[in-house]
Structure 1
Amino acid sequence: MMQDDWIEKIKNGDKESFRQFYEAYSNYAIRTASAITRNTEMAKDAVQETFIRVFRQIGSYNPDLPFDPWFYRILTNECLRLLKKEALLSKGGHINLENDPTLVEESFDQLSDLYETIQALDDSHRIPLILKYIKGFTEIEIANILGLNHNTLKSRLFQGRKRLKEQLERTGEEGEK
């Protein structure tokens, strides 16, 4: 498998393998980080820092476990760190971020109402929904990525879907008027 080859070569300091790995993962990472942070520049910063951390920490990766959850946990943690930093810097602790749908997966381009509704959810519901329904991670993988108890994650997914459905129903009713 190509991924296993990259990981082994990166562990041995092969810069060309790291470049190939970056090219393979960077677009997906930017899309995910943009969906989490709702800010293009912050997403780029998060992705850059994520790849630096991956390069430095690749020796701690357990090859017996799937790579993607390990990678996306680093990315998600970096996004959350930058969001927290932004919240501390902004007045009153409020985050004022612009939506940037241009970097989100094509399915969102076709469903702008859904995208806007997901982006309006609070982080504790929005991020698990993105990881599950856009990135395709299992609940157990998401719980590990976010450092949550599995039941807590299930509750957040349930509440997130419920809030999403309520918002979409409201949007539909407003559109009918």
Structure 2
Amino acid sequence: MPRNFSEHSQVLSCMNEKQQRYEALVHAFHADIYRYAFYLIKDKSIAEDVVQETFLRAWRSLDALKDEKAAKAWLITIVRRENARRFEKKQFDTVDIDTNPVVDDTVFTEQSLQEADMQRLLLMLSEPYREPLILQLLFGYSGDEIATQLNLNKNTVMSRLFRARNQLKELLSKQNGEKGRHNG
């Protein structure tokens, strides 16, 4: 009986330790992971589902995470894979737009309009340029970290970041030029 009790205590201790590690992981990275998922997916409810699935997979594989410093990169990799899984067997539903009127009763503030405008401009960048820039802007990743995350050469990442910023500048100047014409 004492041996059985000892094994039972060890199992409970390991479970409690895993639970604490998981809760710390969620607490530390949930907001960043959601923000990244939202930028990838552009839909709040789907991003929430992908983040939930990401943390479920993280729980299942938590014992495989040996280096706590790599946790954020590990979670981002899971998000990217979960996002890709959505399209593996996806059958897109079509709806007749004329039979489903859309009402938008959202109230916009100046800051939310600027954020939405910047997000729209970021989404206009092509995927190879957008993703490294988002990783740099949202997470503050260095070129090396982005290269590791995206399995790219650092020079390729730096080139894409440079081109992404130039494309954003062009889009902003084009947008500001159009605003000037309309206003004046």
Alignment map for 1:87-106 (pairs within 5 Å)? 89-90=91-92
In structure 1, C-alpha distance between the alignment counterparts of 2:51 and 2:91, rounded to whole Å: 21
Percent identical: 29
Q: Structure 1 residues 117 and 62, CA, compared in 2 at 3 Å: closer, same or farther?
A: same
Residues 125, 159 of structure 1: 8 Å contact kept: yes
Alignment map for 1:1-177 (pairs within 5 Å)? 12-14=14-16, 15-63=19-67, 65-82=69-86, 84-85=87-88, 89-90=91-92, 110-177=114-181
1:56 alignment partner AA:
R
Q: Structure 1 residues 154 and 44, CA, compared in 2 at 3 Å: closer, same or farther?
A: same
In structure 1, C-alpha distance between the alignment counterparts of 2:15 and 2:150, rounded to whole Å: 29
Residue ranges of structure 2 left out of the alignment (5+ in a row)? 1-13, 94-105
Q: Structure 1 residues 109 and 32, CA, compared in 2 at 3 Å: closer, same or farther?
A: farther
TM-score by length of 1: 0.71
TM-score by length of 2: 0.69
Residue ranges of structure 1 left out of the alignment (5+ in a row)? 1-11, 92-101
Following superposition, the deviation at residue 170 of structure 1 comes to 0.5
Larger RCO (alpha carbons 8 Å, 6+ apart): 1
Residues 29, 72 of structure 2: 8 Å contact kept: no
Higher Cα Rg: structure 1 or 2? 2
CA distances 1:99-134 after superposition (whole Å, capped 9, x unpaired): xxx9xxxx8764432221002222221111111012
In structure 2, C-alpha distance between the alignment counterparts of 1:108 and 1:13, rounded to whole Å: 43
Following superposition, the deviation at residue 17 of structure 1 comes to 4.3
Q: Structure 1 residues 155 and 81, CA, compared in 2 at 3 Å: closer, same or farther?
A: farther
In structure 2, C-alpha distance between the alignment counterparts of 1:71 and 1:119, rounded to whole Å: 22
Following superposition, the deviation at residue 173 of structure 1 comes to 0.4
Following superposition, the deviation at residue 145 of structure 1 comes to 1.4
Residues 126, 160 of structure 1: 8 Å contact kept: yes
